[in-house]
């Protein structure tokens, strides 16, 4: 008995000690757990429009771009501050004459079907993009693209092209398998295979999209989530409702008037940062009224941009003066002489035009975005003050795009956005009448501007390039093919339980570090 008792005492002490150890171990485990990502689960992301295509060489709009960049990845990419970083390439070298670019691929890279990625795949992708052209064509004059060995790719240019590296970071320069993995191009993009963190599992081009985790992803152990669902919610107020109710984990388009409330919500948060976007009013310069520069200048002078920005963006934007947002190097927001709000000057300007007594025109907007609706009414009132009667035409997003792609509009509200971190991205897209976008479908043509654009592309970074872009932005501010309204911040709304979202300045979100607690 006594013996038994002692044993039992020892036993109690031992058990107690073990318990203490175990508990402390648990506590340590918990601490580590709170910092560690949780693996598995599904993250549902609400977006305003469906993904209609994965063809990275032909697509341009953000609804597709931000899905394409989950599947395909470029050699170099950019971080959340817009700095170019190594991505599929572990290193790169640029020759001193700016003509030879040598990329070395990461070791052990694989596509989502498990096949290795070689320099031959990369060469095929770049060459195919060169021949395909498309809306985000490689503008540099490329001499040759050669796979030196399995991991080394050498691109030679005929002429230096300063934004080349930044442009390669664009989603449109993603790497695809050689020869579309033996399939036809059309077939391939229906079931795309890339190196990105996710692969397509289920896709309805008129509805939702489900990605599954790419188990061969080169960032070891990532992505943490098993599935990523893009849920289409075309109305931004609806999106907020669904976020609040927990039906979605995050939303891409937050009506800014709700941003503050979401940031202070008990189970919702926002992530916000400066963007590469400039919200603008665009003029169709082929339109009989708006081809007149005085008319455009009059409208620019009639709009109270400061008031509009304050009323519409609730502190999540800066009033714009120049075309390039302040997040992009060579913006001239502080130095440009913009046409600021002055109704008397606007009337004088209109008097100089071919329509001194005003006219009636239309303003095309995409429905479903509450800020744009408000902007349209402010612009309508501004026009009325100087005798320009503006009818607002609100159409569904897909129709909106079809209309302006066909120049079937007079004025529209839209945003210009850089796809890669260089001034050339927005400037080439919005000023080159020969480019795919024909000066962002304004058809604005000015030879001096075009010459400056090409000069800027070939001038090495430095004060000379800065001067060229300042000059360009001043001409654009004077001739107003578009009125820059404001530079919006990116605001992504998410549940408090969602961690690790990386918001990029182009508005896309990286999900490889994301998890749901």
Partner 1 sequence: MLLLLVSLAVFAPLISRYQPAAQNLADILRPSSANHWLGTDQLGRDLFTRLIYAARTDLRIMILAEILPFCTGIFLGMLAGYYGKWIDALVTLMTNTLIAFPFYLIVIVVAFASGAGERGIYITFALVGWIVFARVVKGLSASLRKQEWVASAKVLGLPDSRILLFHILPNVLPQAIVVLMTDMVGLLVAIVTLGYLGIGIAPPTPDWGTMISEGQTFIYSKWWLSTIPGFAVVYTGIALSLIGDGLADLWRRK
Q: Please name every residue paired with 177 in a beta bridge, in sequence order, or none if there are none.
A: none
Beta-carbon-side half-sphere exposure of residue 390 (alpha carbons within 13 Å): 30
Please give the residues from 157 up to 216 whose contact with partner 1 meets the rule CB under 8 A: none
Tokens of 216: 């061969």
Task: Kindly tell me which of 129 and 269 has the beta carbon lying closer to partner 1.
Answer: 269
Task: Kindly tell me which of 187 and 496 has the beta carbon lying closer to partner 1.
Answer: 496
Cβ at position 341, least distance to partner 1 in Å: 10
**Which of the stretches 106-114, 140-148, 370-378, 475-483 binds partner 1 when contact is defined by CB under 8 A?**
370-378
Cβ at position 366, least distance to partner 1 in Å: 11
> Which residue matches tokens 């010459």?
451
Residue 236 near partner 1 by CB under 8 A:
yes
> Which residue matches tokens 């006594």?
2
Taking residues 291 to 330 in sequence order and writing x for each that binds partner 1 by CB under 8 A, - otherwise, the string is: -------------x--xx-xx-------------------
Residue 237 near partner 1 by CB under 8 A:
yes
Cβ at position 307, least distance to partner 1 in Å: 3
Residue 397 near partner 1 by CB under 8 A:
no
Beta strands in 401-440 (DSSP E): 411-417
| Euclidean distance between CA atoms 438 and 448, whole angstroms | 16
Distances (CA, A) of 50 to 188, 397, 437: 19, 10, 22
Task: Provide the pairing of β-strand 509-510 with 198-203.
Answer: unpaired
Cβ at position 318, least distance to partner 1 in Å: 16
Residue count of the chain, please give it.
517
Task: Kindly tell me which of 165 and 308 has the beta carbon lying closer to partner 1.
Answer: 308
Residue 258 near partner 1 by CB under 8 A:
yes
Residue 257 near partner 1 by CB under 8 A:
yes
Residue 261 near partner 1 by CB under 8 A:
yes
Applying CB under 8 A, the site for partner 1 has a residue count of 24
441: left (phi over 0), alpha (psi -120 to 50) or beta: left
Angle at which helices 293-302 and 370-385 cross, to 10°: 110
> Which residue matches tokens 């990625």?
117
Residue 373 near partner 1 by CB under 8 A:
yes
Q: Which of 380, 474, 478, 497 binds partner 1 (CB under 8 A)?
A: 380
Helix (H) or strand (E) holding 94: strand 89-94
Q: Which of 15, 204, 215, 377 binds partner 1 (CB under 8 A)?
A: 377
Sign of CA dihedral 317, 437, 209, 421: negative
Task: Kindly tell me which of 212 and 310 has the beta carbon lying closer to partner 1.
Answer: 310
> Which residue matches tokens 């976020």?
243
Residue 340 near partner 1 by CB under 8 A:
no
| Euclidean distance between CA atoms 199 and 35, whole angstroms | 27
Q: Which of 293, 392, 466, 470 binds partner 1 (CB under 8 A)?
A: 392
Binding site for partner 1 (CB under 8 A): 236-237, 240, 255, 257-258, 261, 304, 307-308, 310-311, 367, 370, 373-374, 376-378, 380-381, 391-392, 394
């Amino acid at each position: 008995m006594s013996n038994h008792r002692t044993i039992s005492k020892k036993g109690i002490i031992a058990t107690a000690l073990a318990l203490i150890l175990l508990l402390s171990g648990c506590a340590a485990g918990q601490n580590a757990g709170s910092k560690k990502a949780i693996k598995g689960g599904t993250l549902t992301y609400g977006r305003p429009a469906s993904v209609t295509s994965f063809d990275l060489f032909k697509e341009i709009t953000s609804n597709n771009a931000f899905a394409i960049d989950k599947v395909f990845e470029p050699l170099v990419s950019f971080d959340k501050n817009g700095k170019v970083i190594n991505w599929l390439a572990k290193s790169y070298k640029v020759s001193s004459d700016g003509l030879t670019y040598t990329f070395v691929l990461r070791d052990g890279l694989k596509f989502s079907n498990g096949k290795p990625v070689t320099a031959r795949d990369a060469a095929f992708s770049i060459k195919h993009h060169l021949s395909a052209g498309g809306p985000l064509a490689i503008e540099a004059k490329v001499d040759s693209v050669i796979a030196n060995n399995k991991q080394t790719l050498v691109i030679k240019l005929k002429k230096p092209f300063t934004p080349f590296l930044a442009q390669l970071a664009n989603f449109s320069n993603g790497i695809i398998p050689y020869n579309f993995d033996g399939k036809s191009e059309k077939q391939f993009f229906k079931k795309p295979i890339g190196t990105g963190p996710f692969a397509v599992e289920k896709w309805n081009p008129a509805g939702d999209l489900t990605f599954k985790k790419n188990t061969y992803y080169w960032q070891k152990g990532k992505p943490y989530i098993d599935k990523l669902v893009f849920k289409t919610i075309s109305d931004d107020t609806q999106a907020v409702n669904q976020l609040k109710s927990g039906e979605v984990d995050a939303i891409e388009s937050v009506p800014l008037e709700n941003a503050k409330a979401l940031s202070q919500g008990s189970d919702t948060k926002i992530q916000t940062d400066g963007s590469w976007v400039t919200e603008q009013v665009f003029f169709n310069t082929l339109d009989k009224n708006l081809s007149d520069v005085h008319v455009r200048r009059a409208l620019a002078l009639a709009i109270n941009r400061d008031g509009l920005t304050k009323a519409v963006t609730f502190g999540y934007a800066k009033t714009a003066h120049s075309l390039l947002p302040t997040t992009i190097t060579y913006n001239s927001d502080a130095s440009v002489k913009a046409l600021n709000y002055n109704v008397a000057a606007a009337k004088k300007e209109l008097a100089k035009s071919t329509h001194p007594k005003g006219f009636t025109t239309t303003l095309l907007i995409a429905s479903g975005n509450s800020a744009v609706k408000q902007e349209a009414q402010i612009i309508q009132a501004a026009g009325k003050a100087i005798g320009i009667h503006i009818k607002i035409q609100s159409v569904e997003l897909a129709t909106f795009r079809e209309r302006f792609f066909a120049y079937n509009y007079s004025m529209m509200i839209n945003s210009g956005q850089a796809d890669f971190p260089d001034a050339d991205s927005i400037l080439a897209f919005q000023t080159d009448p020969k480019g795919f976008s024909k000066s962002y479908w304004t058809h604005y043509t000015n030879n001096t501007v075009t010459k400056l654009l090409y000069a800027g592309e070939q001038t090495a970074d430095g004060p000379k390039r800065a001067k060229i872009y300042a000059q360009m932005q001043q001409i654009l501010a004077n001739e107003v093919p578009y009125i820059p309204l404001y530079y919006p911040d990116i605001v992504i709304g998410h549940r408090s339980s969602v961690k690790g979202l990386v918001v990029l300045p182009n508005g896309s979100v990286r999900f490889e570090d994301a998890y749901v607690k």
